[in-house]
Structure 1
Amino acid sequence: MSALKTRLAPVAARLERVIEPLFTSKRTDAPLIEPYIGYSTADTIVARGRVLGSIRRKSPRADQSWFTNLRQMISLFLTDEVADVTVRSGEHSAVSDEEGYFTLILPRADVSPGWADVKVEEPVEVHLPVLVSHPKAEYGVISDIDDTMMETGAYSLWRNLWTSMTGNALTRHVFPDAVKLMQVLHRDLNPIFYVSSSPWNLHQFLEDIFERNGLVRGPKFLRDLGISETKLITGTHGDHKGSAVDRILAANPDLGFVLIGDTGQHDAEVYLHAVERHPGRIVRVILRALGPGADAKDMDFARKIERMGIPVHVGADYSRVIAALEEGSVLP
């Protein structure tokens, strides 16, 4: 962590403790668990979640004011994390960390491909959803979310903040062609994974948006933006996305992958480095060009990927890719 972040971390932590009670509800007698979507490896089931003292959510209305949306969004970020809680599923257990996160590793055994639930008995009974990859999958898909699946304006900081903080799950705009693209790629068989710099606090918010708009469901690899006395938002967008791609490929060693992103957050560069780290594993790259479009650097990275023998599509929408995939004239 940089010297500036080191100095700011304790100040931000104290400020969070003052503001948090204004937006969060009172802690319950027993800890609660917020489920996150887990995934599988060749031998294990990876179930994930977060232990919280309280969970506060309200059902949004499409016509509610931007100020109400803002207040509800802020409440999602001011979580009441509970550390050092043992989460138990049968004979297997994990302990929540400083920010309440936990990961349960269980044997895959004879769990059928598709969606499965891991039952947690302690500290409270809850089911954690897990996607178990199918052995007959043709390939996997890793996609960004912001400006790739739904409009955010991530290429502009202020537009991104305004869109993210003043909308709700009913007003956020998902690109119809993104829904179609994921359905064509998924084929009810191929696993879909989502990687985003959005914080874990938005996991359920994103789940609601995906379900409402018919986006193919899949495990999400989001980012820890937690604040503590010693930590203040570590890592970069590229670091987070790159490490998530590495983890997904390691979990599915027999699959090639399609990488989908946009030109607003330099995904072309991130994906180029992924191609370099994992020769032979990436079969296609698809990039949405929004706002000002792809700049010279993005196009240079895209051309470098192409020179490595990997098809790259850069365009304002996915219509050409969808048509080609439906005709069966391009890989995968």
Structure 2
Amino acid sequence: MFKKDPLQIMVFQTYGTSTHFYARGRAIEDENIDLEQKGFFKLLFNAWKRFETDEVRNSELVVKIGPDRFLCTKTDHKGYFILDETVANISDYANEEGWVVFEVSYKQNTLKHLIQLENRFPGEMLIPSKKASFGVISDIDDTILHTGIVSLLKWRVVINTLLTSAGKRLPLEGAPEFYHLLHQGKSGNEANPIFYVSHSPWNLYRYLEYFLKKNNFPKGPIVLRNFPSLFRRRPKDEKPQKQKEIMNILKAYPDLKFILIGDSGEHDPAIYMEIAEAYPERISAIYLRSVKHALKMANTHRLYHAYNKVPVLLVENTEAAIKHARAHGFVAPKTNH
């Protein structure tokens, strides 16, 4: 008999409102993955463990908010859970940046046949601060993290994601500074929320969370997607999951304007334009990082050539993006020391 790993609950950083509590995560066995791991074979083994998970299916969970508020949910056949409830006065538990800390635990009858030393797993949900003047929705791959989406057969994606530790991955130059300026806003203390929305699967959540924290990006909800089925073909009229998630954020905060940040490597240009066309009064600007791919850059230039409803910048370097943001009043003016 193989010894079972201890159970854990991976609680994803989410977003909500003062009356809407939203929590999601996954119950799995703890594989104890070292995100600073070195060595080809150890990294390959860690990558395998991320995708070959031992999920805890159909298990009851308890969510505790504050000292005495409890909600219940249940994991699905892949160990995932979503708790989407109307709860009054959640903002009473938020810190000054808007983060609400809560706990998720296994219901005791789930653990009756298991030796489980730890059964309290922290989670955080963001309620945007009333000081916020706008929100930022940002892609991750090739927008703040060099991934190599446009490489031949995407071989760089494989090397960078599976065979490079999260601790060794480097952000695109100047990206953390730019995001902190946007987070602070024109006044310097606006606490504008940053939402990280990626096409990556939830299996990479801890990897990306670690990268963002290690490289000093502003903390924000991380929204990924379920691992795609090999046999499911998306209907032609169905929107990409990333686009759906961005629309959900817009709907959650109808009074908040947003800046969209992505890259020209894949679908961001078309997705962002469609969103801006649908909500021109809600989108303050679009920033698209340039990629080293002549055809994709030509397509992006063609798409936005005559577009003037929303300010758009094709970003060659972060300095140009900061200059553009200052000119439009998104971040504080440059100070002379």
Tell me the TM-score range normalised by the shorter chain. Answer: 0.7 to 0.9
Aligned-partner Cα distance in 2 for 1:285–1:238: 19
- How far apart are 1:331 and its partner, in Å? 4.1
Q: Which runs of 5+ in 2 are unaligned?
A: 64-68, 108-118, 331-337
| Deviation readout 1:148-172 (Å, 9 max, x if unpaired) | 0111111121221222111011211
Distance 1:85 1:166 in 2: 33
Q: Say if 2:93 is the partner of 1:111.
A: yes
Cα distance in 2, alignment partners of residues 52 and 233 from structure 1: 25
Partner SS for 1:69 = helix
1: CA distance between counterparts of 2:8 and 2:320?
46
**Separation (CA, whole Å) in 1 of partners of 2:215 and 2:61:** 33
1:161-200 alignment runs, 5 A limit = 161-187=158-184, 189-200=191-202
The match for 1:69 is: 43
Percent identical across equivalent pairs? 31
Change (3 A) 1:161 1:118: same
5 Å-filtered alignment, 1:246-325, equals 246-292=247-293, 294-303=296-305, 306-307=307-308, 309-325=309-325
Amino acid at match of 1:167: T
Q: Deviations over 1:242-284 (max 9, x none)?
A: 0010111111111010000001112110101111232311110
CA offsets, 1:42-83, max 9 Å, x none? Answer: 52121221111333312524xx22332222112111111122
Name the structure with the higher helix share. 1
Q: Deviations over 1:214-258 (max 9, x none)?
A: 11111111011166xxx7576599601100101111111110100
- C-alpha RMSD of the superposition: 2.3
Q: TM-score, normalised by structure 2?
A: 0.81
Are 2:106 and 1:122 equivalent residues in the alignment? yes
Question: Which amino acid in the other structure matches residue 46 of structure 2?
Answer: Q
Structure 1: distance between partners of 2:31 and 2:124: 18
193-202 vs 271-280, greater mean Cα deviation: 271-280
Equivalent position SS for 1:176: coil
Question: Which one-letter code corresponds to 2:27 in the other structure?
Answer: V
Would you say the 8 A contact 2:35–2:167 is kept in 1? no
Unaligned runs of 5+ in 1: 1-24
How does the TM-score come out when normalised to structure 1?
Answer: 0.82
**CA–CA distance in 1 between the matches of 2:88 and 2:305?**
40
Deviation at 1:34, TM superposition (A): 0.8
Q: Is the 8 A contact 2:8 2:28 kept in 1?
A: yes
**Runs of 4+ with deviation above 4 angstroms:** 231-238
Query: Does the 8 Å CA contact 1:48/1:128 hold for their aligned counterparts?
Result: no
Aligned length: 298
Q: Decide which of 131, 139, 153 is 2:134's aligned counterpart.
A: 139
- For 1:191 and 1:278, the matched residues in 2 are separated by 19
- Residues 264 and 246 of structure 1: CA distance in aligned 2, closer, same or farther (over 3 Å): same
Shift in alpha-carbon separation, 1:26–1:289, aligned structure 2, 3 A: farther
Aligned residue type for 1:127: P
- The answer to whether the Cα contact below 8 Å between 1:99 and 1:226 also exists between their aligned partners in 2 is no
State the distance in 2 between where 1:235 and 1:70 align: 30
Equivalent residue, structure 2, for 1:213: 215
Q: Which amino acid aligns with 1:298?
A: T
Whether the 8 Å CA contact 1:47–1:118 is kept in 2: the answer is: no
CA distance in 2 between partners of 1:51 and 1:170 (Å)? 25
Contact 2:315/2:321, CA 8 A, preserved across alignment? no
Distance 1:241 1:330 in 2: 27
Equivalent position amino acid for 2:251 in 1: A
Match of 1:9 in 2: none
1:48 pairs, out of 13, 20, 24, with: 24
Aligned twin of 1:83: 57
Mapping of residues 2-21 of structure 1, within 5 Å:
none
Residue number in structure 2 paired with 1:8: none
CA distance in 2, matches of 1:121, 1:171: 32
SS of residue paired to 2:93: coil
Q: 1:108 to 1:50 in 2, by over 3 A?
A: farther
**Offset of 1:97 from its aligned partner?**
1.5
Matched residue SS, 2:156: helix
Partner SS for 1:295: helix
Partner residue in 1 for 2:81: 102
Mapped to 1, the partners of 2:140 and 2:45 lie a distance apart of 23
Which amino acid in structure 2 is aligned with residue 50 of structure 1? R
Deviates more, 1:108-117 or 1:134-143: 108-117
